[in-house]
Each structure stands twice: as C-alpha cells, then as structure tokens.
C-alpha cells in the first residue's frame, strides 16, 4: 500500500481528523485559560481603582480636618497674644512655638492636598491601564482568529497534494 493510499484510507482520514480535533481542542483550552486570566486581572484592577478612589476621599477629609485644626491653632495663637501682655517672656516663647506649629500644620495640610491630587492622578493612570487591558483582550481575540486560520493552513500542508491543482 503506497503513502497516498494510506492517506486516502478511512483510518488515515480518521487520524487526520483526530489530529485536527486535538489541535482545535488545545487552542480552545488555551483561549479559555487566557480569557479567565484577563477577566481576573480586569476584576483586580477594578477593585484596586475603587480602593484608590476611597483613599483619595479619605485624604480629602483629612485635608479638611487639618485645615480646621490650623484655623483653631491660629485662633489659639491670637488668644495667647492677647493674654501675653501681662505674662512676660515665657508666654512670648510659647506663642512663637504655637505660630510655628500653626505654619507647620498649614504646610502639612497643603501636603495632604497634593497627596490627594497624586492619588487622583494614579486613579487616572489605573483607568488608562484598564483601557489597555480592554485593547489587549481585543488583540487576543484577533490572535485567536489568526490561530484558527493557521489550523486551516496546517491541514493544507499535511496533505500537500490538495494544494496542487493538477493532481486528482
């Protein structure tokens, strides 16, 4: 029996069909596995974005609280200036320390505001990463389609006489 006869025989066709079926099954499993991986990654990115947004809100509240504390410190410093007229040098030193502390609190409040802006920027970058993930999912779908065409090409090369028009 020649090689061509073996390929045309029912067992040769069954083997070819079984090989193609196995290849398609492996490709489908790989696609499903990558899809699950991308789904989980997208879900994790979404949860991380929610956490960063909440962190930004918390920092915003802390900034407002720090500004309120700075106002209270300014009021306390002003009260001390009024009472200091009779108390001498000791209260003068305390007042200077309180004013310095008030300035530090104001700087700290400003730093907290900048931190809030940085977190907002991070949220935007995480959103951009989510868009990139969506594009990557689209690319994976395109690649899966290309892999299906490769299976067709592999079938042609496994039976090369089908590609020659002059061979029956």
Between these two residues, 145 and 66, which has the higher pLDDT value? 66
Separation between Cα atoms, residue 151 and residue 6, nearest integer Å: 22
Residue 164, pLDDT score: 64
Residue 125 has pLDDT above 90, yes or no: no
Q: Find which of 41-55, 100-114, 134-148 is predicted with most confidence, using mean pLDDT.
A: 41-55
Residue 110, pLDDT score: 82
Model confidence at 28, pLDDT cuts 50, 70, 90, reads very high
Residue 40, pLDDT score: 92
Model confidence at 134, pLDDT cuts 50, 70, 90, reads confident
Summarize the confidence of residues 81-104 as an average pLDDT: 73
Summarize the confidence of residues 60-82 as an average pLDDT: 82
Residue 153 has pLDDT above 80, yes or no: no
């Amino acid at each position: 029996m020649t090689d061509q006869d073996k390929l045309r025989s029912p067992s040769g066709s069954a083997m070819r069909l079984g090989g193609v079926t196995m290849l398609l099954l492996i490709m489908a499993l790989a696609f499903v596995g990558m899809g699950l991986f991308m789904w989980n990654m997208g879900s994790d990115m979404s949860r991380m974005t929610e956490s960063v947004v909440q962190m930004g809100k918390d920092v915003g509240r802390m900034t407002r609280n720090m500004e309120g504390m700075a106002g209270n410190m300014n009021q306390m410093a002003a009260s001390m200036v009024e009472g200091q007229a009779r108390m001498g040098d000791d209260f003068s030193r305390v007042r200077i320390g309180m004013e310095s502390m008030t300035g530090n609190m104001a700087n700290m409040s400003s730093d907290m505001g900048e931190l809030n802006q940085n977190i907002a920027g991070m949220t935007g970058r995480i959103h951009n990463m989510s868009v990139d993930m969506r594009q990557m999912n689209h690319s994976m779908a395109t690649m899966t389609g290309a892999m299906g065409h490769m299976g067709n090409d592999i079938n042609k090369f496994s039976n090369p006489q089908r590609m020659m028009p002059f061979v029956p």
